[in-house]
Amino acid sequence: MTDALPITLVGTPVLHQPCRPVERFDDDLARLVETMFASMYAARGVGLAANQIGVDQRVFVYDCPDQDDVLRKGVVVNPVLRLPGIKDRRLDEGTEGCLSIPGCSAQLARPDRAVCDGFDATGAPVTVHGTGLLARCLQHETDHLDGFLYIDRLPAAARRAVLAEHDQRRKAST
The set of catalytic residues is 141
CA 58, CA 22: separation in Å to the nearest integer?
A: 6
Count CA atoms closer than 13 A to 44's CA, side-chain side.
Answer: 3
Distances 149 to 30, 121, 123 between C-alpha atoms, Å: 25, 24, 27
Q: How far apart, in whole angstroms, are the C-alpha atoms of residue 115 and residue 138?
A: 8
Question: How far apart, in whole angstroms, are the C-alpha atoms of residue 7 and residue 54?
Answer: 8
Give the Cβ contact number of residue 130 at 10 Å.
23
